[in-house]
Chain A
């Protein structure tokens, strides 16, 4: 069993808890966090398809799902952005 962690959703994302909710999952990497979110909330796949990036302690990770999530880290899901 992975460590328990809290992940907050940007207010543009809606999950069971409503827009901008914070949920608890068990994960120690982005990969594990995404997997358990899909597991718990089947609707989450739809958000993933739209594009999700992960902010860990203020640093935004768009692509690298191998990133470890340190204990007590602030984790946010935000829209995956592109640029010009």
Chain B
């Protein structure tokens, strides 16, 4: 590897270091250097959302971010959604509502849906559809995905009230 840069970052709460070429995408670094293959590559051009992560809480396509840009920042991937051995409500609802068929787009949808519910705990159908419009799914027609997000939002609001 020529001209490698050493990057120190935080991934799913843990300190992580990797060395990467300056033109490598964060998606590639997360997949190949950090071992988080839940970050999926569908296009590499920011059109499909399969590589969605949050960077300091902001939803981004990790294929459009350079790996070196993660320096000093907080990265969350689908692997960071479930905690203490329990599935996140969104994850459980995706399974319960059969919101995945092949599942390749699922990590990106979950990250995007969580980003939506973090800023808007009670989105209507249209808001959900527009918030997820950057994530392509070819199997489901989105029907069961939207239902799953609606159900998760409802449960998460209940959990908060408790």
Please determine if A and B sit in direct contact within the complex, based on CB atoms under 8 angstroms apart. Answer: no
